Amino acid sequence: MTIKEFFSKEVTIHYPMEVLPLSPRYRAVHHLQRLLDSGSERCIGCGLCEKICTSNCIRIITHKGADERKHIDSYTINLGRCIYCGLCAEVCPELAIVMGQRFENSSVQRSQFGGKAEFLTDVASAKDHSHVEFAGFGAPSVDASQRVQQTPLDYASQEAQASQEENKDA
């Protein structure tokens, strides 16, 4: 070690004691959301996340109840197969699954990867509003509605007006 390096700023962190801040778009272990007002699960059992998953790690088993609605029997994510691409979070219509920021998920046993209970927000924190929703990958940003310049309907109406003007000129 030279004298110059001895007095320079330290760039190495001591990992277990110090952790670098993660980007909000960081894709780590999945997180299943609950409705904050009622505490019930957001997942409606549509199966889009299972269909889009390229590594076939999501499995949903549903049944139709007496009220003709889908009820979820089991929801498993095999973290041993998951490539953390985030497609499941993007395709979810109810924002029930988002990519969380918990990246420390090592285990000795394969059976500890994939249970629904470890991904789901607990009911107590959802009902007392102590759970803050993670606005990470798969969730819309806070200012998403202000960043939209035009909706698809605006484009369609502009094209319709342009075609009407062309018909008038002809």
pTM attached to this predicted model:
0.60
pLDDT at 131 over 60: no
Closest by Cα among 79, 29, 30, 26 to 55: 79
Q: Could you report the per-residue pLDDT of 25-84, keeping only the tens digit for each?
A: 778 888 888 777 777 788 888 999 999 999 998 999 999 988 888 888 888 888 888 898
What's the one-letter identity of residue 137?
Answer: F
Domains of the chain: 23-169 (3.30.70.3270)
Residue pair 31/97 in contact by the 8 Å Cβ criterion:
yes
The secondary structure of residue 101, as a DSSP letter, is S
Residues whose CB is less than 8 angstroms from the CB of residue 143 and which lie 6 or more positions away in sequence, other chains included:
none
Closest by Cα among 47, 44, 24 to 33: 44
Mean pLDDT of the chain: 78
